[in-house]
């Protein structure tokens, strides 16, 4: 009976007119009324109290089914109209707000069951909260076009902000963008229920972050650092606007995952190339710490210690190196390098001998780097080891790499293990993230030889 009433309500749906009210239509009012009467009956028989669970659960199931049936009917009608594919282009903003509010009205009516009367009954609680979660998802999906249709004007405003004259302060350059947001969000605040508006505000904020991110990473000529400095200042002002002194999104939601990613990219854009190379090293060391043994690319066994005025490195052996030759074997050798170059400007790469036709090479070779103890104690000081397969007719193939933080080795770090002769086994790694922000930003610096050389070098190290 309830499902038939909901179907009839949807078929006879019409807007509810009036001044100063949020947008909604008669179908949600009728469905909410149906849920209200079902709730009165549910409570009259004792809700979820012990001894009444049979009838209570059946009524709860009926209420959840009624609310979900309404959401399914709305969703089905929208899908048939191509609403999701064309992002609601055939609907006005007011009509979209009506759809979102209708779903929110029904969700809110069903949420009245989620109170202390079902708190002690796991089945009832899971039933109601599962239905509420589905309604929430449907409402969020229906609201997507509100953010999508804001993207073109946002894109235009962010573009003009980014390319405004250097003499114009960011607080003034951002004014057109803030004025658009204020107008757009004020309309939504008038037309949407509070919870629906909060969701729309979060979606709008994500759209803003996406447009700022696209502008920051847009192609073309290398941009001056003041360009990204302005976008970073604008990002902080936008965050304050969306937070609205506690009346908008909480700061925990303003500083979401996309914000953190974008803020990091802004910092990368403003950093000089040498600093980015050091951040890359730091990332690789972090990746190595997360790579367990055995690694899919094998491992390398070494000793490292500081003795007198030299850093001594013994390349002992490797095991399970990946096969890179047609015969299923490799001809491995190791390249040793001290990084970053600002700490070790006078050192050069050193290389082991090539071990032929093996995946478990033994080198037992010792190398010395004449460096100062002070340079080795820098937190950035790193020994980079790369294993390659020697090819005669073609370029050598990359097999894997490993890193050693020099500040932690015996002779440099007084807290290092006392036995410098104890070997260290390190997992070999290859690169996988071609979209790494540091690599992307360095690649955009096409007039910077250091950046271009580094990118070219790293592109040889990606896993196939």
Per residue in 331-388, pLDDT tens?
999 999 999 999 999 999 999 999 999 999 999 999 999 999 999 999 999 999 999 9
CA distance 376 to 338: 10
CA contacts within 13 A on the Cβ side of 88: 21
In a domain, 451, yes or no: no
In a domain, 90, yes or no: yes
Give residue 115's pLDDT band: very low, low, confident or very high (50, 70, 90): low
Q: What pLDDT score does 315 carry?
A: 97
Give residue 51's pLDDT band: very low, low, confident or very high (50, 70, 90): very low
Are residues 109 and 230 located together in one domain of the fold? no
Are residues 103 and 212 located together in one domain of the fold? no
Q: What residues pair up with 322 in beta bridges, in sequence order? A: none
Are residues 235 and 290 located together in one domain of the fold? no
In a domain, 134, yes or no: yes
DSSP state of 396: P
Are residues 257 and 325 located together in one domain of the fold? no
Residues 6+ away with beta carbon under 8 Å from 151: 207, 210, 211
- Residue 241 sits in a domain whose CATH number is 1.20.58
Percent of the chain exceeding pLDDT 70 equals: 92
Per residue in 184-207, pLDDT tens?
999 999 999 999 999 999 999 999
Are residues 141 and 156 located together in one domain of the fold? no
The separation between CA 351 and the C-alpha centre of its own chain, rounded to angstroms, equals 39
- Residue 129 sits in a domain whose CATH number is 1.10.357.50
Return the HEC string of 52-121.
CHHHHHHHHHHHHHHHHHHHHHHHHHHHHCCCCCCCCCCCCHHHHHHHHHHHHHHHHHHHCCCCHHHCCC
Domain count, the chain: 3
Are residues 413 and 298 located together in one domain of the fold? yes
In a domain, 464, yes or no: no
In a domain, 406, yes or no: yes
In a domain, 457, yes or no: no
Are residues 254 and 360 located together in one domain of the fold? no
Are residues 132 and 169 located together in one domain of the fold? no
Per residue in 378-406, pLDDT tens?
999 999 999 999 988 888 999 999 999 99
Q: Which two tokens stand for residue 422?
A: 């104890």
Are residues 237 and 285 located together in one domain of the fold? no
Are residues 365 and 412 located together in one domain of the fold? yes
> Highest-confidence range of 37-46, 188-197, 362-371, 441-450, by mean pLDDT?
362-371
The DSSP line for 184-223 is HHHHHHHHS-HHHHHHHHHHHHHHHHHHHHHHHT--SSPP
In a domain, 449, yes or no: no
- Mean pLDDT, the chain, whole residue set: 89
In this structure, the number of other CB atoms found within 10 A of the CB of residue 213 comes to 19
Q: Which of 112, 145, 178 is the last residue of a domain?
A: 145
CA contacts within 13 A on the Cβ side of 243: 15
331: three-class secondary structure by DSSP: coil
Residues 6+ away with beta carbon under 8 Å from 221: none
In a domain, 455, yes or no: no
Are residues 104 and 170 located together in one domain of the fold? no
Are residues 369 and 289 located together in one domain of the fold? yes
Q: Which of 124, 145, 166 is the last residue of a domain?
A: 145
CA distance 32 to 66: 10
Q: Tell me which residue range forms the domain holding 356.
A: 279-435
Parallel, antiparallel or unpaired: strands 332-339 and 382-389:
antiparallel
Q: At what angle do helices 194-216 and 225-243 cross, to 10 degrees?
A: 180
Q: Which of 270, 295, 324 is the last residue of a domain?
A: 270
Q: What mean pLDDT comes out for the span 105-119?
A: 79
- Residue 404 sits in a domain whose CATH number is 2.60.40.150
Parallel, antiparallel or unpaired: strands 362-370 and 299-307:
unpaired
Listed in sequence order, the DSSP H helices in 356-422 are 373-376
């Amino acid at each position: 009976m309830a499902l038939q009433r909901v179907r009839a309500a949807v078929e006879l749906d019409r807007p509810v007119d009036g001044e100063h009210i949020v947008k909604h239509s008669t179908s949600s009012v009728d469905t909410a009324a149906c849920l209200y009467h079902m709730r009165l009956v549910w409570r009259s028989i004792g809700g979820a109290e012990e001894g009444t669970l049979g009838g209570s659960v059946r009524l709860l199931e009926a209420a959840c089914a009624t609310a979900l049936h309404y959401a399914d009917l709305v969703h089905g009608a929208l899908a048939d109209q191509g609403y999701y594919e064309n992002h609601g282009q055939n609907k006005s903003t007011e009509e979209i707000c009506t759809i979102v509010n209708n779903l929110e009205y029904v969700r809110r009516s069903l949420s009245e069951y989620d109170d202390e009367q079902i708190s002690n009954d796991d089945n009832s609680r899971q039933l109601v909260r599962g239905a509420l979660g589905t309604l929430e998802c449907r409402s969020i999906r229906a609201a997507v076009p509100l953010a999508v249709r804001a993207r073109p004007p946002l894109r235009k405003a962010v573009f003009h902000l980014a390319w405004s004259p250097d003499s114009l302060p960011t607080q003034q350059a951002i004014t057109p963008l803030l004025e658009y947001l204020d107008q757009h969000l004020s309309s939504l605040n008038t037309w949407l229920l509070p919870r629906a508006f909060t969701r729309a505000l979060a979606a709008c904020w994500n759209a803003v972050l996406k447009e700022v991110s696209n502008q920051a990473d847009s192609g073309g000529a290398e941009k001056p650092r003041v360009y990204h400095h302005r976008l970073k200042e604008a990002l902080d002002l936008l965050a304050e606007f969306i937070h609205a002194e506690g009346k908008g999104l909480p700061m925990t939601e303003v500083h979401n995952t996309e914000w953190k990613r974008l803020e990091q990219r802004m910092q990368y854009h403003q950093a000089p190339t040498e600093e980015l190379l050091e951040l890359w090293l730091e990332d690789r060391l972090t990746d190595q710490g997360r790579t367990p043994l055995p690694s899919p690319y094998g491992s390398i066994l070494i000793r490292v210690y500081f003795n007198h005025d030299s850093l001594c490195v013994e390349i002992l052996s490797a095991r399970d190196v990946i096969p890179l030759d047609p015969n299923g074997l490799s001809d491995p050798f190791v390249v040793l390098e001290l990084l970053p170059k600002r700490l070790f400007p006078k050192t050069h790469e050193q290389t082991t001998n090539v071990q032929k036709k093996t995946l478990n090479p033994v080198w037992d070779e010792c190398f010395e780097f004449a460096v100062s103890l002070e340079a080795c104690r820098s937190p950035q000081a790193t020994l980079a080891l790369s294993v390659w397969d020697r090819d005669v007719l073609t370029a050598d193939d990359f097999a894997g790499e490993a890193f050693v933080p020099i500040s932690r080795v015996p002779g440099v770090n007084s807290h290092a293990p006392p036995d410098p002769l104890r070997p260290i086994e390190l997992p070999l790694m290859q690169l996988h993230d071609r979209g790494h922000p540091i690599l992307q930003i360095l690649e955009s610096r096409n007039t910077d030889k250091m950046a271009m050389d580094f990118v070219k070098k790293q592109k040889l190290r990606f896993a196939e």
